[in-house]
């Protein structure tokens, strides 16, 4: 009788189920344990490191996408609140002055169309406009992060230099008669 064999896909599915069952009993696996499991499966250390780096990069990208989506939805909600308040005021003003709605319908329809288009982009991440906005936002976010890091580094360096200068100045003052 020939031993049963499994495809790579079947092995992956079996191991995912086994790890899911194991995770129910304990919280997490250490990085070293995951490396050991990979080695037992015949995955080289270089392959493991490359896969881990790709996973970390993808996880970071997913976190940025989630942050962007949250901010975009919040901006849409705020815009929707402004739309409702302003148009309620305009319609009240129009109705109070003419006892019917006349001119206030035009801002309502125009702004409403804009809000509908914004909703289409905001709640449809596959939309090319959404993707362009995300790319621009991510580039801006990364620039701001780089500037903040550089500023922090420059500030620390300046403080160190100022501290050294102050110490030397104190020593020089103490040595003077």
Give the span between the Cα atoms of 93 and 87, in whole angstroms. Answer: 10
Tell me, yes or no, whether 92 and 54 share the same domain: yes
Q: What is the CA radius of gyration of the chain?
A: 30
Give the span between the Cα atoms of 99 and 121, in whole angstroms. Answer: 37
- The percentage of the chain sitting over the pLDDT mark of 90, rounded to a whole number, equals 58
Task: Indicate the pLDDT class of residue 33, thresholds 50, 70 and 90.
Answer: confident
Tell me, yes or no, whether 106 and 144 share the same domain: no
Residue 22 has pLDDT above 70, yes or no: no
Range of the domain at 151: 126-177
pLDDT value at position 11?
Answer: 80
- Nearest Cα residue to 66 out of 117, 129, 137, 118: 137
Q: Which of 83, 102, 125 is the last residue of a domain?
A: 125
Tell me, yes or no, whether 59 and 103 share the same domain: yes
Q: Which tens digit of pLDDT belongs to each residue from 117-146?
A: 999 999 999 999 999 999 999 999 999 999
Q: Which tens digit of pLDDT belongs to each residue from 37-64?
A: 888 888 888 988 898 899 999 999 999 9
Output the CA angle 127-130-136, nearest 5 degrees: 145
Burial 10-29 (b: 16+ CB within 10 A, else e): eeeeeeeeeeeeeeeeeeee
Burial 46-55 (b: 16+ CB within 10 A, else e): eebeeeeeee
Q: What is the mean pLDDT of the chain?
A: 89
Number of domains in the chain: 2
Burial 142-174 (b: 16+ CB within 10 A, else e): eeeeeeeeeeeeeeeeeeeeeeeeeeeeeeeee
> Which has more confidence, 15 or 149?
149
Domain annotation covers residue 112: yes
pLDDT value at position 92?
Answer: 95
Tell me, yes or no, whether 120 and 134 share the same domain: no
> Which has more confidence, 43 or 68?
68
Give the span between the Cα atoms of 162 and 170, in whole angstroms. Answer: 12
Tell me, yes or no, whether 136 and 121 share the same domain: no
Residue 24 has pLDDT above 80, yes or no: no
pLDDT value at position 80?
Answer: 98
Tell me, yes or no, whether 89 and 139 share the same domain: no
Tell me, yes or no, whether 114 and 76 share the same domain: yes
């Amino acid at each position: 009788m020939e031993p049963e064999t499994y495809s790579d896909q079947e092995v992956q599915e079996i191991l995912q189920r086994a790890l899911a069952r194991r995770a129910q009993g304990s919280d997490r696996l250490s990085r070293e344990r995951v490396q050991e499991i990979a080695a037992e499966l015949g995955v080289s250390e270089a392959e493991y490191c490359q896969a881990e780096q790709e996973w970390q990069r993808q996880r970071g990208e997913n976190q940025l996408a989630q942050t962007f989506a949250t901010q975009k939805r919040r901006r849409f909600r705020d815009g929707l609140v402004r739309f409702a308040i302003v148009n309620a005021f305009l319609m009240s003003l129009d109705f109070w002055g003419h006892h019917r709605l006349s001119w206030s319908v035009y801002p309502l329809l125009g702004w409403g169309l804009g809000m509908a288009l914004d909703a289409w982009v905001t709640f449809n991440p596959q939309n090319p406009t959404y993707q362009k906005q995300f790319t621009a936002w991510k580039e801006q976010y990364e620039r701001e992060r780089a500037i903040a890091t550089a500023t922090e580094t420059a500030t620390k360096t300046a403080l160190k230099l100022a501290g050294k200068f102050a110490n030397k100045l104190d020593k020089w003052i103490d040595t003077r008669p």
